[in-house]
Structure formats: structure tokens, C-alpha cells
Amino acid sequence: MRVMGSKKLLFIFLLCFCLHGLLHAQVDENELIQFSGIVVTADSIKPVPFTNIVIKNTWRGTVADYYGYFSFVARINDTVVFSSVGFKKGKFVIPDTISSNRYSLIQVMTSDTILLPQTVIYPWPSREQFKEAFLALDVPDDDYERARKNLNAAKLKEMAASYPMDGSMNYQYSMQLYQDKLYYIGQTQPITILNPFAWAQFIKAWEEGKFKRKRKD
């Protein structure tokens, strides 16, 4: 009789333990919700892409997509922290009055102004080298002299000749060649040496002395 009573007590104890575990698991399952939403800016209501969304004091969370949308599993009463570069951190506590297993949120982020300390960059590693370079610097007398040197015709011509053609100039040159081929299509292109207008321009330039060599002083 004592053995039978011990077995009954052990069976009742195991039954109560199992029921307690099932009830506890059911309560935990009821606390889980699908937490979804979108993160936007406060001034323009534009999405904040790739916002970090983490449950406070845990490693659980997710990252919003390019359009600011997010969705992950959370628990009731969890504190969700939203953080993104250039914005102040936002917090939201999931309420315990939710009657469904889903909850949606529009999280508004406020811009955060970050003031960086002043940084001065010097081209010389030491004050002594700066002083030496500053004293040896040849500064023009005035702004007019500096502007005259910058606008020197010979210097500008030399710079223009050394610069390669850009995309627009290459396009114009190729289109000009194409138009020349279309103009003389089906016939032989004329030779410039037999062009009377070219000879007239050459003779006129010769009479005006444009081919004379300039004497160097």
C-alpha cells in the first residue's frame, strides 16, 4: 500500500510539473508578436533606409530596408531602440494592451546636428619650414600683375595646345568628319592646292606680310 501511494504521489507531481510547463509555454507564445513598421524623417516624411532596430539590452533586432520598412518577432513590453547616422535615437515600448499577435508602427526620426571640432591642416610639418618657405615666396607686386601673368596670351595658347580634347570636342570632330564624307559621297574630294579661293587667301596673306619672321629683341 505504501508503494502504491508513493507511485500515485510521483505521478501527480509529474502531472502538475507538465501542466505548469505547458501553461508557461502558452503564456510565452501569447507574448510573442510580429512587430512591423516603417521609419521616416520628421521634417519631410521620407524613409530612413538601413536603420538599426534593436531590442534594448539584447542582441535581437533587425535592419530596415532601403524604403525604411522592417519586420521581426518581439515580445510585449519590449523596448525597441531605433538608431541611424545623422538622427537622434528613438525608443518605443511595445504596449501590453495588444489583442492581436501583430503590431504596426510608424517611427519618426529627428535629425541630429553633429558639430565637429576645428581641424587646421598645414602643408609644412614644422613652423621652421613654414617660415623658410614663407620668406622665400615670390609674391607679385599687386593683383594686376598677377592677373596679367595668368592671362598671358602665349601662356594660354600653350596651355590650350597641351590640354587634350574633351568628350564634346571629340564628338564635334567626329561629326565633322562624318559630314565631310556625306558631302563628297559618290565623288572625288577636291585637292586644296587646286582651290582658287585658297590661293587668293594665300596671296593676300603674303602681301600683308603675315609670313615674315618676327625679330627677337
30-109 maps to CATH 2.60.40.1120: yes
Averaged confidence pLDDT in the chain: 80
End-to-end CA distance of the chain: 138
Q: Which of 85-94, 116-125, 167-176, 206-215 has the highest mean pLDDT?
A: 85-94
Whether the CB-CB separation of 86 and 50 falls below 8 Å is answered with no
* pTM of the model as a whole: 0.43
CA distance 214 to 62: 79
pLDDT at 15 over 60: no
Domain boundaries, the chain: 30-109, 127-207
CA distance 180 to 170: 15
Residue pLDDT, tens place only, 17-53: 454 454 444 435 558 899 999 999 998 899 999 999 9
What is the pLDDT at residue 54?
Answer: 95
